[in-house]
Structure 1
Amino acid sequence: MAAVAHVTGGRALATVQFASACGSLADRSTLRLLSAGHRGRSSSCSRRRVPASQRVTSKMVIPGFGESPEAKSAASLHNFFTYIAVRIVLSQLQAYNREGYAELKEFTDRVPLKDGDQFCAALMRESPRHKQLAMRILEVRQAYALEDFEWDNLRAVSFQRMEEGNTRLMRDFLMETSRFD
């Protein structure tokens, strides 16, 4: 079960959503009383205003994850932005600096780009020319993340893919399990 607090017009209105119908009747009535701000009075009493610091919102708990899913996603995006920056710099070098292109291409073939910061640190320590390439990658990575990456589109595409995947999986499962022999 999950409790979600909403604020409307300065008043805290709590609604309780049940994730399953398994909760006992006592649990449900307790939650209803708590969500209505009940303190031993009838539920028809006026709602008591709850300070923002005392409002409770419940989110899913992810046990044993170590860090938040958002932090893990940020780390993945950070490494992905490094990959994108390397591709952009390679493309730029290919057009006007074939020697720099060959050096960076050789380095990317030799050193895996699993961790963007480790990759750039190794590139900086390779040679003075490689240090310049690493600095360019850092600049492009930041500029891409700040100016070119479409954050709103990421959210929309993520939700769309999740919805389509869920629908497809449920449909396929129903087709498999409801076939007549």
Structure 2
Amino acid sequence: MNIEPIKLTAEQEKLRGVAKSSLYVQCYKQVVSQMRDKGIKFPRDKRGTNELGINVTKLATWCAFKDRATLYNNSTIRKALPGDIRDIGIEDQEPKSIIEKKHENLVADQARDINEQGALILTLNARIQMLEQQLKEKDSIISNLEVSLAGSEQTVKNHMECHAEQIANSILSGGRTFERA
């Protein structure tokens, strides 16, 4: 099961501009349709130089493009290609080893832990700020109470001095100084 490359007629070869662009989009869609129908995946880039991971020269040949730049220059194809690669896949993708899978899982777990710890730190920082605000409010209340207590102590001291003076005057004047009714 191989892809049947698209063959352009002489008339199609002569097309230019928007008409040629539309033809290329149709050719691309036909090739992708063949790939889906036959279960063929995109050819893999064996050198690893293509950012999409596919052999664009081979794909361009299948689609009857004059060069592979059409895959990048045609906006419709450029937008559709990554999604089609994701849906169809790339041939001969080497299965990941157990070590690679464990490493990826470890990295994912560590990233999740870091995110959770970051969220916990934010929560704790918010709690610390709230407690600091409560502490400031309590300090303000304590300060007000200390001022009030000092005022009350002064009032009590003044009353005690006044009372002691009254008692001293009473004793000096020979007894009672209170009038009888």
Length-normalised TM-score, structure 2: 0.28
Larger RCO of the pair (alpha carbons < 8 Å, separation 6+): 2
Q: Could you say which structure has the larger radius of gyration? A: 2
Length-normalised TM-score, structure 1: 0.28
More helix by share: 2
